[in-house]
Amino acid sequence: MRIPMATFDHPFLPNAGEAIRKMMLEAIGVASIEELYSDIPVQVRTNRSLKVDWLPSEQEVKSHVDRVLGENKSASDMPIFLGAGIYNHYLPAAVKSILSRTEFQTSYTPYQAEISQGLLQSLFEFQSMIADLTQMDAVNSSLYDGSTALGEAARMACRATGRKKILVPHGMHPSKFSVLENYTEPVGIRLETFLFDKETGGLDSTDLQSKVDRDTAAVYCEVPSFFGVLDPEVTNVPSISHQKGALSIVGFDPVSLGGLKPPGEYGADVVIAEGQSISTEMNFGGPALGMIGCRGKNLIRQLPGRLIGMTTTLDGRERAFSMVLQTREQHIRRERATSNICTNEALFAIGAAAYLSLLGPQGLRELFESILVKTNYAIKMLGEIPGVMAPRFASQHYQEFAVSFKGAKGTLARLNKSLLSHGVHGGKSLVKDFPELGETALFCVTEVHSTESIDRLRLLIEKLREA
Amino acid sequence: MFHQAKWNEPLIIERSGNGKRGHTPARPSDIERKIVGADAWNGVPKALLRNGPPPLPEVSEPEVVRHYTRLSQENFAVDLGIYPLGSCTMKYNPKVSEAIAQNPKLEKIHPEQDESTVQGILALMHRLDQFLAEITGMSRMSLQPVAGAAGEYLGALIMRAYHRSKGELGERREMIIPDSAHGTNPASAAMAGFNVVVVPSNDDGMVDLGALRKVVGPRTAGLMITNPNTLGIFEKNVLEIAKIVHDAGGLLYYDGANFNAILGKVRPGDMGFDIVHLNLHKTFATPHGGGGPGAGPVGVRKDLEKFLPVPLVSFDGKKYFFDYDAPDSVGKVTAFHGNIGVLVRAYAYILSLGPDGLKAVAETAVLNTNYVLSKILEQSKFELPFSRKRKHEFVLSAKRINEQTGVRALDIGKRMLDFGLHSPTVYFPQIVDEAMMVEAPETESIRDLDELVEAFLKAAKEAETDPERLRSSPHNTSVGRIDEVKASHPKTLTLKWNNPKTRGQTP
């Protein structure tokens, strides 16, 4: 460590030099910087140096962090068959290029619309594209992630219906469920789960129907499900819900809408999604992109977060964009706001707009097909291994599928460890969260998984199980 | 003279046509196709199959890149100029942090990977936890909250867990919040099921202790406060405030929105705060992305650690691991481990500055802001309600100008856009009439500060000489003043909803 100078000369601090400081202090009419802090009680002031590290040059900072991150093994080093909410997709170079525009990256929330048209128009395009893809009337300009989007959707449904119960699948990501609990419990919303069919992995309609009642604000389902199942029964859930006056919330996967029916077409009232797949890299799970959309004016007024609308200049001559319906939001409505959200994930909403524009109708359909074919290929390959049940559920799958392994407790953990030592990262273990499924893992395959990597996974599992 | 770019750029859907495409995704291999055959499409349940291709723009790659590049040019940003937005701390975002984040060893790691394969990022998170705890004077941090408001919400959940553990949650339903607070504070408290009790500011712009004493009691869950507050005034009675709240059995929450003023100078933990959040996208210079991403890590005092979300990153002397052994934890507040990309940038920022640098950040921010304030007060009719002593921000009132000329704070703010800088925050906090909230972060040079002062003075002068020019401003931005009232209708939100002809149809 160097001995600190009287003032700290640093590339980020243009006014730290002694001469400038002196001139500025004179202009203010104080003798020292300390005088500007004289109102802080002496007994609470920090009279020592903070114990944090310092690296004096940019080069050292860069090398240090590179070295620390170098300890990681990434999807560039080994095939990784993990999904469950965060997915490894190929991100087109043009998306990265657009997101690297620092006019987007280093801008603030577009409160001053006239000087922020670029951001506002991009966000409006995002809203429009997702609304078209899902067949919703309105989509907001982003929430934090898929899990908090579900939390907001649940609260929205309860406000709109005046009811206090949300039905969710037992087969959902436990972390997402935990976030949902934190968004609902404090305001007295009850969560109840409905079962999945043990054979098909799809929803157990009898169980669901028995639980939808006049207290139910909404029923939540996912397509594809947490287990990657394409369950046709889900298309009946909106009408089952509506019969009891409840709303239907559908969680979708944005890429899958290249081939799958928009939830709006089968009656969903609110849709939510995790949009990381179409806007940014995995980054250990964040930042992500929460999406929420809905139908009808009543629900729109209950939407959380920022909404961008198309309008004109005051003179009526030009098209222009601005934030709208702000009276729902915390900076105006305070404790009566629809949500506390302020900072969101706007940058990745732009990324998603760019991504969807690049892929277009054909590209998104082809990508869906690619993933569909690869999923089926991987299922076929793994299904041929003796003692391996792939898929675990007798259904069609997209992108993910559960695989069960014959063997005593610990079989899967040992297999995953061995796979890793051979340079392959296996699927997500479901042993702890879904003990009823036994030694089962959730595998994920997208367009980035080569035939070779899937074949290698199969050969390794075969070999390791024989050993 | 500043003039923002203007491209008359149509919507991307308006550029669509003729089967164009901007990207060809990877296709399945021949082997995969052969083995799977046509089964794949046939297997998709009919009820779930989309009829025809999805309704998206058909555009080529160059068209997409030009479209969004043009739009980017119609957008103001920190890389273009000063952003004197009070309470937002829009400082320069160092490029080294960006370079560091573009690393496949970060971008291409999955949150559910085996711990042995992510020792690098876990080590970084563990170190960052220690740095931020030291900087705030707290015991331990959760890096999971992804925004300031998410941090506040977690803080409120921790208060619930704390009072529940003492069997008092049923009674402790009230969250006390000063009238000068950000809207997120009452919104977060209400979301967590608390009733908001507003405590007024006194004539010095600080929490009125008498009023505070009157509202605290057995129903108090806690107090949420920023220090310095949104007026830029340091709550010098903070120890007394802490005592009043603690004596009543409540917890004290520190909103880190204004932390830039006190970095390295005074720590929330030493002021008696029990729970703290930091806005890494403010104080720790990560880019704000047009509204997000951000990160809002939350720190707590020792006895509240057990309530923090799972998992924390711990070190057993040999390896880093996710610690799920926390039976009292509130659970999760986001699906995975937080906005890791943002955390890595903030870590690089701390290393770049070190202890002396971080202190110099706060000192220079306060110096810059006071310089701007002195110059404006000296030479204009703007007034400064409450005491003169300000830290990193101040709130001017344009009331006198408004009374004399009819020009409003809004008009002055809009006119400032014409000078190539962003407007200050206007009409907040609500306790100041015709409020203009100004923050001049440490990254602004003396020349930038002088330009900012000049912009205020010019606008104030114009209010007298040419008020119409102000009222019709801005003139040099991509578009003129916008009709926000017309926009405030659900039908403006998407193109489809906007245009009844295409509603329910694919374009």
Residue B31 to residue A52, Cβ atoms within 8 A: no
CB-facing half-sphere around the CA of B391: CA atoms within 13 A: 28
Q: Mean per-residue pLDDT for A133-158?
A: 97
User: Is A375 within 8 Å of A172 (Cβ atoms)?
Assistant: no
- Which residues of chain B lie closer than 8 angstroms to A178, CB-CB? 331-332
Q: For residue B276, give the 3-state DSSP assignment.
A: strand
Measured between alpha carbons, how far is B103 from A340 in angstroms, rounded to an integer? 33
Q: For residue B226, give the 3-state DSSP assignment.
A: coil
pLDDT at B402 > cutoff 50: yes
Q: Are A53 and A116 in a shared domain? A: no
Residue B289 to residue A104, Cβ atoms within 8 A: yes
User: Is A289 within 8 Å of B339 (Cβ atoms)?
Assistant: no
Q: Are A260 and A383 in a shared domain? A: no
* Percent of chain B surpassing pLDDT 90: 91
pLDDT at res. B497: 62
Residue B183 to residue A257, Cβ atoms within 8 A: no
Q: What dotted CATH number matches B113-352? A: 3.40.640.10
- Nearest residue in chain A measured CA to CA from B238: A41
A52 → closest Cβ in B99, B104, B131: B131
pLDDT at res. B484: 84
pLDDT at B25 > cutoff 90: yes
Q: For residue A176, give the 3-state DSSP assignment.
A: helix
Q: Are A256 and A135 in a shared domain? A: yes
B48 → closest Cβ in A232, A285, A357: A232
Residue B69 to residue A344, Cβ atoms within 8 A: no
Is A63 an interface residue toward B (CB < 8 Å)?
no
CB-facing half-sphere around the CA of A439: CA atoms within 13 A: 15
Question: Looking at CA atoms only, how far is residue A270 from chain B in angstroms?
Answer: 15
Chain A segment 67-126 residues within 8 A of B by beta carbon are 68-76, 78, 80, 82, 84-86, 88, 90, 92, 94, 97-98, 101-119, 121-125
Mind listing the pLDDT tens digit for each residue in B107-136? Answer: 999 999 999 999 999 999 999 999 999 999
- Nearest residue in chain A measured CA to CA from B132: A52
- Which residue did the predictor score with more confidence, B503 or B360? B360
Beta bridge partners of B129: none
The token duo for A357 is 């524009």
Closest among B76, B80, B74, B58 to B8, alpha carbons compared? B74
Residue B47 to residue A232, Cβ atoms within 8 A: yes
Q: Mean per-residue pLDDT for A65-73?
A: 98
Neighbours of B468 (CB within 10 A): 10
Mark which of A355, A390, A421 sits at the end of a domain.
A355
Angle ∠(A299,A301,A303) on CA atoms, nearest 5: 75
Residue B428 to residue A52, Cβ atoms within 8 A: no
Question: Looking at CA atoms only, how far is residue B356 from chain A in angstroms?
Answer: 7
Mind listing the pLDDT tens digit for each residue in B425-458? Answer: 999 888 999 999 999 999 999 999 999 999 999 9
Q: Are A250 and A380 in a shared domain? A: no
The token duo for A102 is 């620092």
Q: Are A367 and A223 in a shared domain? A: no
In a domain, A74, yes or no: no
Substitution target in B8, B23, B73 with the highest count of A β-carbons within 10 Å is B23
Closest among B385, B389, B393, B408 to B471, alpha carbons compared? B408
User: In this structure, what are the phi and psi dihedrals at residue A206, rounded to the nearest 5 degrees?
Assistant: -60, -45
- Which residues of chain A lie closer than 8 angstroms to B313, CB-CB? none
Confidence of residue B359 (pLDDT cuts 50, 70, 90): very high
Mind listing the pLDDT tens digit for each residue in B293-330? Answer: 999 999 999 999 999 999 999 999 999 999 999 999 99
Cβ pairs bridging A and B (under 8 Å): 733
Looking at A3-17, A381-395, A423-437, B145-159, which range is the least confident one? Answer: A3-17
Is A318 an interface residue toward B (CB < 8 Å)?
yes
Domain positions in chain B are 12-73, 113-352, 356-481
Measured between alpha carbons, how far is B71 from A116 in angstroms, rounded to an integer? 9
pLDDT at res. B500: 47
Mind listing the pLDDT tens digit for each residue in B241-286? Answer: 999 999 999 999 999 999 999 999 999 999 999 999 999 999 999 9
Q: Are A365 and A348 in a shared domain? A: no
pLDDT at B505 > cutoff 70: no
pLDDT at res. B487: 82
pLDDT at res. A16: 78
Confidence of residue A242 (pLDDT cuts 50, 70, 90): very high
> Please, what is the average pLDDT of chain A?
96
* Percent of chain A surpassing pLDDT 70: 99
| Total-model pTM | 0.97
Mind listing the pLDDT tens digit for each residue in B62-82? Answer: 999 999 999 999 999 999 999
Topology classification of domain B356-481: Aspartate Aminotransferase, domain 1 (3.90.1150)
Domain, as residue range, for A36: 18-62
- Nearest residue in chain A measured CA to CA from B148: A343
pLDDT at res. A18: 86
In a domain, A330, yes or no: yes
User: Is B63 within 8 Å of A93 (Cβ atoms)?
Assistant: no
pLDDT at res. B499: 54
User: Is B261 within 8 Å of B271 (Cβ atoms)?
Assistant: no
In a domain, A154, yes or no: yes
pLDDT at B387 > cutoff 50: yes
Work out how many domains chain A is built from and give that number. 3
Backbone dihedral region for residue B135 (phi beyond 0: left; psi -120 to 50: alpha; all else: beta): alpha
In a domain, A88, yes or no: no
Q: Are A132 and A148 in a shared domain? A: yes
Residue B354 to residue A329, Cβ atoms within 8 A: no
Residue A372 to residue B41, Cβ atoms within 8 A: yes
Residue A313 to residue B479, Cβ atoms within 8 A: yes
* Percent of chain A surpassing pLDDT 90: 94
Measure CA B169 to chain center. Answer: 30
pLDDT at A466 > cutoff 90: no
Confidence of residue B504 (pLDDT cuts 50, 70, 90): very low
Q: Are A100 and A193 in a shared domain? A: yes
CB-facing half-sphere around the CA of A101: CA atoms within 13 A: 29
- Which residues of chain B lie closer than 8 angstroms to A427, CB-CB? none
Q: Mean per-residue pLDDT for B98-102?
A: 97
- Which residue did the predictor score with more confidence, B87 or A7? B87
Contacts of A101 (CB under 8 A, 6+ apart): B68, B69, B72
Looking at A187-196, A318-327, B333-342, B492-501, which range is the least confident one? Answer: B492-501
In a domain, A252, yes or no: yes
pLDDT at B374 > cutoff 80: yes
* ipTM exceeding cut-off 0.90 for this assembly: yes
Instruction: Report the CATH number at residue A458.
Output: 3.90.1150.10
The token duo for A438 is 């036994």
pLDDT at A1 > cutoff 90: no
Residue B157 to residue A186, Cβ atoms within 8 A: yes
Beta bridge partners of A320: A311
Q: Are A159 and A100 in a shared domain? A: yes
In a domain, A235, yes or no: yes
Measured between alpha carbons, how far is A192 from A214 in angstroms, rounded to an integer? 14
Residue B50 to residue A235, Cβ atoms within 8 A: no
Is A26 an interface residue toward B (CB < 8 Å)?
no
pLDDT at res. B495: 78
DSSP tag of B502: G
In a domain, A257, yes or no: yes
Residue B496 to residue A347, Cβ atoms within 8 A: no
B193 → closest Cβ in A40, A135, A186: A186
Q: Are A201 and A228 in a shared domain? A: yes
- Nearest residue in chain A measured CA to CA from B2: A115
- Nearest residue in chain B measured CA to CA from A302: B490
Substitution target in A12, A60, A314, A317 with the highest count of B β-carbons within 10 Å is A12
Q: Are A330 and A386 in a shared domain? A: no
Residue A178 to residue B331, Cβ atoms within 8 A: yes
Angle ∠(A214,A215,A216) on CA atoms, nearest 5: 90
Closest among A466, A446, A465 to A454, alpha carbons compared? A446
Q: Mean per-residue pLDDT for B19-24?
A: 95
Q: Mean per-residue pLDDT for A441-452?
A: 98
Residue B481 to residue A313, Cβ atoms within 8 A: yes
Confidence of residue A330 (pLDDT cuts 50, 70, 90): confident
Q: For residue A313, give the 3-state DSSP assignment.
A: strand
Q: Are A202 and A314 in a shared domain? A: yes
Give exposure, A141-158, as e/b (b: 16+ Cβ within 10 Å).
bbbbbbbbbbbbbbbbbb
Q: For residue A442, give the 3-state DSSP assignment.
A: strand
Angle ∠(A18,A19,A24) on CA atoms, nearest 5: 100
In a domain, A264, yes or no: yes
